Amino acid sequence: MTEKEKCVAGLLYNANYDQELIQERITAKDLCGEYNQLKNSDTEGRTSLLKKILGKSGQNICIEPTFWCDYGYNIEAGENFYANHNLVILDCAKVTFGDNVFIGPNCSFYTASHPIDAKQRNEGLETAHPIQVGNNVWFGGNVVVLPGISIGDNSVIGAGSVVTKDIPDNVVAVGNPCKPVRNIEP
C-alpha cells in the first residue's frame, strides 16, 4: 500500500518523507503562490487558476488572497462560495463545502492529525480525516475547524471559534471548544 493509499484509508501514513506526496504539495503550493500574486482585477485569471487548484467547484467562487492548501484536489466547493483573506485548507483528506458557504478572514480547516506518541510523530507519521460543511454556512473570522468535523446546513460559526466536535443543522455555535448556543428559527 502506498503512503497516499494509506492516507485515503485513514491510516497512519508518512507525509514528510514520501516523494509522491511531497511533489503533490509542491505543485499545489506553487499554484497557490501564483494565485496569490494575481491582481484582484484579473477575475478571469483568478477563477481559471482556482479551477486548476481545486478538485471541484461551482461556477460562482471567490477566494480572496492569500490562500494556501496542501494538495488542492481534495477540496470541493459548491456554488456561491466566498472566502475572505488568509484562508488555509490543509486538505490531506477531503474538505467538502456545500452551496452558499461564506468564510470570514483568517480561517483554517485542518484534516491532518499527528500522533501523540513522539516517536511516531518524529517519523513523519500522521492521519487525515475529512471535513464536511453543509449548505448556507457562515464562518466568522479566525475560525479553526479540526480533522473529521461535520458542520450542518444553515449554521453559523462565531468568530474565533475552534470547532472540535460536529455541529448540527440550524444553530449558532461559538467558543473554544465551539458549541451550539441557540437554534436558528426560520
Among all residues, which ones are annotated catalytic? 114
A 10 A CB-CB count for 9 gives: 12
| Cβ-proximal residues to 22 (8 Å cutoff; 6+ apart), any chain | 16
Q: Measured in Å, how far apart are the chain's first and last C-alpha atoms?
A: 49
Helix, coil or strand: residue 46: helix
The one-letter code for the residue type at 72 is G
175 and 166 Cβ atoms separated by less than 8 Å: no
CA distances from 28 to 32, 67, 108, 159 (A): 6, 11, 17, 28
- Classify strands 144-145 and 108-110 as parallel, antiparallel or unpaired: parallel
Phi-psi region of 136 (alpha: psi -120 to 50; beta: other; left: phi over 0): left
The one-letter code for the residue type at 68 is W
